[in-house]
């Protein structure tokens, strides 16, 4: 099943946990704020990492769509 991630820029406070846990899925800017890579489509096999990143964001800024 196709999984997508999205970072809610209004909620992200730059904790960087998403990027630490799943650098394949997130980019961070110079201030530590994250964005999803590309259009947020999670490559096959990385779904668990996407969920882990979402679960570990203290701001609940990582959204998972599936
Ligand atoms: Fe932002 Fe949460 Fe990642 S606050 S940098 S989306 S861990």
SS (H, E, C) 2-66: CCEEEECCCCCCCCCHHHHHCCCCEEECCCCCEEECCCCECCCCCHHHHHHHHHHCCCCCEEEEC
**Residue identifier of the C-alpha nearest atom 2 of ligand 1:** 57
The minimum-distance atom of ligand 1 relative to the CA of 32 is 5
Q: Which atom of ligand 1 is nearest to the CA of 17?
A: 7
- Give the per-residue pLDDT at 1: 77
Pocket test of ligand 1: the residue of 6, 49, 59 to mutate, having most ligand atoms within 8 Å of its CB, is: 59
pTM: 0.94
- pLDDT (tens digit, 9 = 90+) per residue, 39-65? 999 999 999 999 999 999 999 999 999
CATH number of the structural domain spanning residue 27: 3.30.70.20
Domain count, the chain: 1
Atom of ligand 1 nearest to the CA of 26: 3
* pLDDT tens track for 11-22: 999 999 999 999
The boundaries of the domain holding residue 9 are 4-65
């Amino acid at each position: 099943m196709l999984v997508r991630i999205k970072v809610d820029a209004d909620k992200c406070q730059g904790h960087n946990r998403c990027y630490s846990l799943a650098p394949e899925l997130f980019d961070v800017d110079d201030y530590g704020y994250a964005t999803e890579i590309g259009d947020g489509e999670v490559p096959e096999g990385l779904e668990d990492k996407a969920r882990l990143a979402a679960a570990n964001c203290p701001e609940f800024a990582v959204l998972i769509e599936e």
